[in-house]
Structure 1
Amino acid sequence: MRTRMMLTTTILLVATAVAVFGQRRVVQIGGAAGDFSWSQVRQKAVALDDTTALGALQPRELRPWENIMVGPGAFANIFGLSWAEGQTTGKAFGFEAGVDPRFWHGGYSREEAVVIDGDPETAISLRQLIGEGPVQVFNQILRLQEEVWTFDLVLETPINRILFFPRQSGVDKRGIPNKQGSPRAYRLSIQNEAEEFLLEGSEPIPKRTLATLIEETKSNTKSRVDVSFPLQPARFIRLDLSLADQFYSMAEFQVYGEGVPTNVNYVSTAIPLDEPVNFGEISYSFRSLRRDREADVLVEDPEGDARLLIETRSGTDDTPLAYYVVDDFGRDKEATESEWQRASLPRRESLSVRYPNQRSVVLDDETNWSPWSSPYRSSGQLNRSPDGRQYLQFRATFLTDDVLSIGRLDSLQFEVSPLLASSLIGEVSLAGAASTGLTTEAQPAEFPVGERRQLHFDIAADFSSDAQGFDAVRLTVPFGTRFEGLRMGDADLVAVVPDSVWPGDGIASDGELFISFASNRVSRGNDIPVRIELESSLFTSSTIFAGEVIDFASANLPQSVDGGNARDDVHTNSLQVFSRDARTTVLDGVRLMQPALTPNGDRVNDEIRVEFSVLFVDEADVTVKVYDVAGRYIAILDAENRGRSAQQVSWDGFDDDRNLVPPGLYLLVIEVNTQREIARRLLTVPVVY
C-alpha cells in the first residue's frame, strides 16, 4: 500500500536534477494513440460503448425509440446481454447472477422467450386463467393458478414506458381475432432494490407486487397496452395477470427509456507489462456530458453528476480468474479455462447434486494476483497495487444519480518503471525481542495498545543488474512515530548518519517518515541490509508499517516493500504489528505535558499541552473543553471528527472571547463520541501567574 507524501523543497530539487537513466513509461488504454484499445483488453464490459467517440469509453446511451428488451446477439437485450430463462441461473450455466438479465413466470412449467424476441408475429398460445381462490393448503395461502411475469434487467436502467400486446393479425383457436387477446386485468409494477425474493432461488406464492405500482386495472379494452410514467431507474419489472378470470396471449413485452444506467463497469484482461515493474500514478481524462435536445448531440456538462471509480490489482501470470470443476469426491478442484469449458453443465433438475467433472464456480485468482485495490476517485493518485508484478488488471465503474448525465472516459494511463530491486523484503520487530527457540514459524510483533515501544524495520534486497539500487526509504507509520536511527551492514549492523530525515524533527506528525542515505546507496555492488529504528504506538488491534524505497540516482518509480523474512535472527516475517491486550476503550494515553499554565508572556509554560490517543475507531467526534471548578464553560479547544491516532491539544489560558482567565484551578474535559460509546476524561489544570 502506498500513499503520496510531500517532500521538502531540497529533496524535490535533488530529484529533478539527477541524470536520468531510468525507463519510466506510460501504458495507455484508449485515446487516439493508446497502447491498447478498450476492445483489445476487455474481459467484461456491461452496457458500455467504445464506438460513439474515437478512443473513448462511455455508458451505452438509450434513445427513446429503442426497445431495451431486444438487441444484438442471440436472444439478447439492448446491451447485448443474453437473457437467462428462469429465476435460478448460475455462472456454470453460462450465466452470472447480477450480470446477465433473467426472466421467469409462474403458471406454466417452462419459460417462453417469444415475448422478448422482437418478432410481433410470434406469441405464446392463448391461455385461460382461472382466478379461483385464494385457498389454504397445508397452512399456506395459495391461488390455484398464478400468472406473474418478472423481468430482471440486471442494471438500474432508466425507463419511462412499457408496452405489451398480442399478435395483431390472424385469429385464435376460438375464431376470435388475435389482437383481442390482450389481458383485461393486469397489475404492472417496477423496483430498483434487489430484495432476496427477486434473487436466485424460488419465490413463495402469492408473488408480491414490486415497490412502485405503475398501473393496475380490471377493465382494459386496449389491444396494445402502452403505459408511460416518469423517467426513473428500475431493475425489476413485474406483470401480474392473476387478478381475474380471463383469456390472454402475448406476442411482445417491450420496455423503453432514455439516458444511461446508474452503475456500469468495465473489467480488463491481464495487461502484459513485459517485465515485473513498479507502479506510479494513475491518470485519466474523464468528463460529464448531456444530450442537447434541440441539436440532438452530446455536449459537455461541467455540473454533471457522472462519476468514475478505478480499481486495480497486479499479478504474476496472465490468468486473473480461477476456474473450478467438481472432482470425484464432490469437491471443487481448480482447472484451466479450457477444462472448465469442456466440463458438463449442472443439471437443473438436481442443482444440489454435484456430479464429477461438472462445472463449478469461477472466482478471482487470489493466489497469483493481489486483491482489488480501494477505489481511485480522482486522476493523479498513486497505484496502490503491489509492485514487482508483470501483469495489471483494472476495473472502471461509471456512476451517476442523474440518468441523463453521461460520463466519458477518454483515456486511462498507468505509469510504470523497472524494479529498483529484483526482490525487496521487509520485516518489523520489537527491539530486543529474542526468538523463542529455534522455530522457523512466524512470531508476530505484539505490544499493548497506546504504549510506546522501540521497533526495528529491516529491509533486505536482491539485485539482478547494476542499474538497480536505492538511496532512500519512505515509511507509512502510525501518527507520532519517531525516527530513532539508521543502521546498515552485513554481519554487524553499523550506525549510519542519514543524509536527511523528513520531517526535520524525525516525528511522523502526518503519518510518514522519509530517510535518505545517498552516501550509502544500496545496489548490486553494495548489497547490504538496512535497519530503521523507530519508536511508535499502536492505536488499533493491528497496524501495517508500510514502506517503499526510492532511487534519486535515476528517474525510476519507488518500489514498495513486501512483508517476509528479511533477517534470519528476526522471526515476525511481516510488516504487521498486533496489540497484545484486549482493552476496548477508545480514549487512552491522556496526560498533561506541563505541571501548570503560567500565561505571563515569558515563553515558559505560556501554553499547556495535553496528549491523548484515539484507539480502534476510524471516526469519532472529539471535543476538548475547559471549565472552571464551578462547572462554568470557559473555552473549546478542539472539536473535530478524527480516527485512531495520537492527538495533542494546547490551551493558552484565554476563554472564547480572548480574555485571560484569572489564576486558579480549571477542568479540561476530553470527550470521544463514537456510535457505540462515549469516552470521557477530566484533567485538573492549575493556572498560575
Structure 2
Amino acid sequence: MLILVFSITLITFASSQILPDTIVISKFSSFIDSTLSQGVDVTNSSDYLILKTSEQENLAKKRRATITYYGTGEPKTSTGDRDTVTGNPMKVIDGDSRTFCQIRPGGDGSYILIDLLALRRINKVVIITFGLNQSLRPRAYTIYAGIDSLQLTRIVQKTDNQDVKTLDIFDPIIARFVKISFDVVDRFSSTVIAEIEVYGVGYLSSGEYYSKVIDVGQPVNWGWAEWEAELPEGTGITFQFRTGSSPSVNDTWSQWSPEISSFEVLKVTEPRRYIQFKVNLSTSSTETPILKRLSIFYHKKLVAKSITLEVEPSVVPILKRTEITCNFDVEVDDNSLGIDTLIIFTPSPANVESVTLNGNPVAYSVISSPEYVKIAFQQPINSSSRISVKLSLTLYLDINEFPSVVISKMTASNPQFVDTRKRGNLNSWTVLTTDVPEKLIVDLQINPNPFSPNGDGLNDKTQISFFLANLLVERNLKIQIFDLTGRLIKTIFDGQSKAFAYISSNSFTWDGRDENGRLVRPGVYLLRVAINADTGVESVFKTITVVY
C-alpha cells in the first residue's frame, strides 16, 4: 500500500510581519456536527477522521444498473414497445421497495448488472421480491462479481429458491460489478424484483464531515489551512469553508468555498467571527484516507474593519469597449493595518484609467494581467474613505463579477477579501451585459500580419485573438491554418470551450510551421476559426501572410 503523508507549510514570515493565530483540530470527534455528517467515522480511529465501514450500508443503492433480457422476458406496453416503467433496472437500487423491475415468463437467463462505481470488498447480497409475493420470487438465480464487467466470477448459485427475501453470504471478494442472472423464470408468472442490496466489509466510497460552528471571539481575516493526512493510492481529501457573523448558520453566511486539496488562501467572506469547515473523503480502492490534523490560520489584525465594493454601471453593452467604476467603501479603526495593495479580479483583460481617493487623484502603480489588475499605493490608506478605480474593458459574458482583495504589508501572505452588498438578487460587484451578439465568434484579429518567422526575434510569431461569446456550455472549437488550395497546414487548437476572451496572453499563436514542424513557404494562408453552434458550425476566415 502506498501511503502519502500530505502536510503543507508554505508560509514564511518576514520579521516585520504579524504572526497569525491558529485553530488546531486533532480530535475530530470534538468538532463534528453529527446531524450533517455522513459516511465518516471519528470514534474508532484514535479521533482521526476516516471513512465509515460498509457493513451496514447498501453499496448498490443509487449507483448504476442495467438489464439484459433473453427470450420473452422483456416487458411490453400495449403497443408492443418495451415498457420503460416496469423494465427500468434502476428501480431495484433506488432504496424504495414500492418500485420494481419485471422479467416476463420465458425470460430465462435475463440478468441485472449493478455497477458499484468503485472497488468494494463485498460479502453479502440480498434480493427482495416485490410485495414479498411468493409467486413473483426468483426461482433459480446465480450471482457473479468482479472488477471487470466482462470477466466475472460465479460466487453463488441457487437452483431452487423458495425465499421472497434472499440472503446470500460468501467469502469477501473485491468487486466493482455484481451480476444477478435469473436462470429460471416461471412459465406462467413473472419474476418481479423490488430491490437488490449489496453489502460488504471495508470502507464506503465517500463521506462528508461537517464541523460545528467555531467561534474565534471577534471578526478576523481568515487565512489558509494546513493539514496532515495519509492518502493511500486511490483515496482523496478535499476541504471547504464558510464564514458568518452569527453563531448559527443562516442566509447571511457565505456559501461554501470551492473545494481545495492543496494550499490556497481561503475564499470566504471576511472579516467574520465564525467559521465552519467541511471535509470530503473519497476512495476508489478498498482503503480509506486518514485525516490526522487540520489547522486554520487567521489574523486578528485586519487590513480594514470593513471594505465593500459596488461596481457602476450595473449594465453595459456586450462586446463593446466600455468603462466601469469600482467603488470601494473603506472603514478603518484602531485594529486596522491599512491598505497597501488592491487587487481586482476581472472577467476579461482591463486597463486602469484612474484611481481616486475621496474624489482626489492618488499616487499608485499598476501590474495588469488577463485575470486581474494589481494596484499598489505609494502611501497606505489608513483612514475611512472611498477608493474609486475606473477600468476600461470589453465584457463578453452575460454576468460579470469583480471580486477583489486588499493587502497590508504587515500580513502580506493573507489578503482580506472585499465584501459585497446585495443589489436585487445579485452581488453589488456584478455587471450584466445586454444586446447579445448575433455571432459566437467576435472581433477576430491577427497581429502582426504579415509576419516573418525567420528566427531574427522580430515578428517571428503572430497572435490570433477573438472573443467567444454567448456560450454557457462547452462546444468544440477549432483553429486551423490552410493553404489556398484548401490543404490543412496546421491545427492550432481542437478542443472544448465555453465563452471566453482569447485575447492578450490568452490568445493563440502561430509560428509559421506546419504539422511536421517545418517552416511554411512565404505566401498567403487561410485562418479558419470554427465553433459548433446549435444551428450548425459557425466559421470565420481571415488571411495570414508569411514573408521572409
TM-score over 0.5 (shorter chain): yes
1:24 aligns with 2:20: yes
Matched, 1:395 2:265: no
Aligned to 2:523: 664
Asked if structure 2 preserves the Cα contact closer than 8 Å seen for 1:417 and 1:556, the reply is no
Distance 1:214 1:583, change over 3 A: farther
User: How do 1:465-476 residues align onto structure 2 when only pairs under 5 Å count?
Assistant: 465-476=334-345
Paired position in structure 1 for 2:450: 596
Inter-CA distance 629–225: structure 2 relative to 1 (3 Å threshold): closer
Per the alignment, in what secondary structure is the counterpart of residue 515 of structure 1? strand
- 1:269 to 1:254, Cα distance in 2 relative to 1, 3 A: same
User: Match for 2:211 among 249, 268, 292?
Assistant: 268
| Aligned residue in 2 for 1:624 | 479
Match in the other structure for 2:76 = none
* Residue among 278, 281, 284 paired with 2:221: 278
- Tell me how far apart the structure 2 counterparts of residues 584 and 400 of structure 1 sit (CA, whole Å): 46
Q: 1:104 to 1:686 in 2, by over 3 A?
A: closer
How far apart, CA to CA, are the structure 1 residues paired with 2:413 and 2:458? 48
Pick from 553, 571, 574 the counterpart of residue 428 of structure 2. 574
The alpha carbon displacement at 1:559 in A equals 1.3
Is 1:368 aligned to 2:255, yes or no?
no
Alignment partner of 1:61 is 2:50: no
1:684 counterpart residue number: 543
Shift of 1:414: 1.8
2:393 corresponds to: 536
Matched, 1:480 2:349: yes
- Note if contact 1:313-1:373 (Cα within 8 Å) is conserved in structure 2: yes
Asked whether 1:615 is paired with 2:500, we answer: no
Amino acid at match of 1:285: E
CA distance in 2, matches of 1:628, 1:397: 52
- Contact 1:159–1:257 (Cα < 8 Å) also in 2: yes
How far the C-alpha of 1:595 sits from its partner, in A, is 4.7
CA contact (8 A) 1:483 1:534 kept: yes
- Which position in structure 2 is the counterpart of 1:586? 440
1:224-623 residue pairs with structure 2 within 5 A?
226-228=168-170, 230-232=173-175, 257-288=200-231, 301=232, 304-320=233-249, 365=250, 367-376=251-260, 378-402=261-285, 404-418=286-300, 419-430=302-313, 444-448=314-318, 450-489=319-358, 493-498=359-364, 500-502=365-367, 506=368, 508-509=369-370, 511-517=371-377, 519-523=378-382, 526-554=383-411, 557-564=414-421, 574-583=428-437, 585-598=439-452, 605-617=459-471, 619-623=474-478
Provide the rounded CA distance (Å) in 1 between the counterparts of 2:221 and 2:315.
Answer: 28
Question: Which deviates more, 585-594 or 539-548?
Answer: 585-594
For 1:47 and 1:459, locate their aligned partners in 2 and report how far apart those are by CA, in whole Å: 44
Preserved CA contact (<8 Å) 2:53 2:203? yes
Q: Distance in 1 between matches of 2:197 and 2:311?
A: 62
For residues 419 and 51 of structure 2, what CA distance do their matches in structure 1 show? Answer: 38
Structure 2 stretches lacking a partner, 5+ long: 1-9, 60-93, 105-115, 128-136, 146-153, 189-195
Mapping of 1:159-170 within 5 angstroms?
Answer: 159-162=122-125
> How many angstroms apart in 1 are the aligned matches of 2:200 and 2:494?
48
User: 2: distance between equivalents of 1:580 and 1:259?
Assistant: 55
Using the TM superposition, give the Cα deviation of residue 398 of structure 1 relative to its aligned residue in structure 2, in angstroms. Answer: 1.6
2:43 match: 51
The amino acid that maps onto 2:259 is P
SS at match of 2:238: strand
Cα deviation code 1:126-175 (max 9, x no counterpart): xxxxxxxx9xxxxxxxxxxxxxxxxxx9x9985322589xxxxxxxxxxx
TM-score (norm 1): 0.57
The offset of 1:257, in angstroms, is 2.1
The question of whether the paired residues in 1 share the 8 Å contact of 2:448 and 2:459 is answered with: yes
* Shift, 1:389, TM fit: 2.0
Query: Retained in 1: the 8 A contact 2:21–2:297?
Result: yes
Look up the equivalent residue of 1:408 and give its one-letter code. Answer: I
Taking the aligned partners of 1:677 and 1:312, their CA distance within structure 2 comes to: 43
Contact 2:348 2:395 in 1 (8 A): no
Distance change (3 Å), C-alpha of 1:616 and 1:405: farther
Structure label with greater radius of gyration: 1
Shift in CA distance, 476/44, structure 1 to aligned 2, threshold 3 Å: same
Which TM-score applies when normalising by structure 2? 0.70
Amino acid at match of 1:60: K
1:642-661 aligned at under 5 Å gives the runs 642-643=497-498, 644-647=500-503, 648-661=507-520
Structure (1/2) with the larger strand percentage: 2
Coordinate RMSD, CA, aligned: 4.6
Whether contact under 8 Å (1:50, 1:57) holds in the other structure is: yes
The answer for the alignment partner of 1:219 in structure 2 is 160
Amino acid at match of 1:317: S
Name the structure 2 match of 1:65. none
Rounded to whole Å, the distance in 2 between the matches of 1:103 and 1:188 is: 23
Matching residue's letter, 1:319: S
Q: Does the 8 Å contact 1:622/1:640 carry over to 2? A: yes
Aligned residue pair count: 458
For 2:238 and 2:257, locate their aligned partners in 1 and report how far apart those are by CA, in whole Å.
Answer: 11
Partners of 1:23 and 1:555 within 8 A in 2: no
User: Cα offset for 1:688?
Assistant: 4.4
Distance 2:311 2:539 in 1: 33
**In structure 2, how many angstroms separate the alpha carbons of the residues matched to 1:561 and 1:256?**
49
| 1:596 match: secondary structure | coil
Q: 1:104 to 1:266 in 2, by over 3 A?
A: same
Call closer, same or farther: CA 1:394–1:43 in 2, change over 3 Å. Answer: farther
Corresponding position of 1:339: none
Relative to structure 1, the CA distance from residue 264 to residue 656 in structure 2 (aligned partners, 3 Å threshold; closer, same or farther) is closer
Letter in 2 for 1:513: V
Question: Alpha carbons of 1:387 and 1:186: their partners in 2 closer, same or farther (altered >3 Å)?
Answer: farther
Classify 1:682/1:273 alpha carbon distance in 2 versus 1 (closer, same or farther; 3 Å): same
**Following the alignment from structure 2 to structure 1, what is the Cα–Cα distance between the partners of residues 257 and 283?**
21
Unaligned runs of 5+ in 1: 1-11, 63-67, 70-76, 80-100, 107-133, 135-152, 165-182, 192-212, 246-252, 289-300, 321-364, 431-443, 567-571
SS at 1:629 equivalent:
coil
Name the amino acid aligned to 1:496.
V
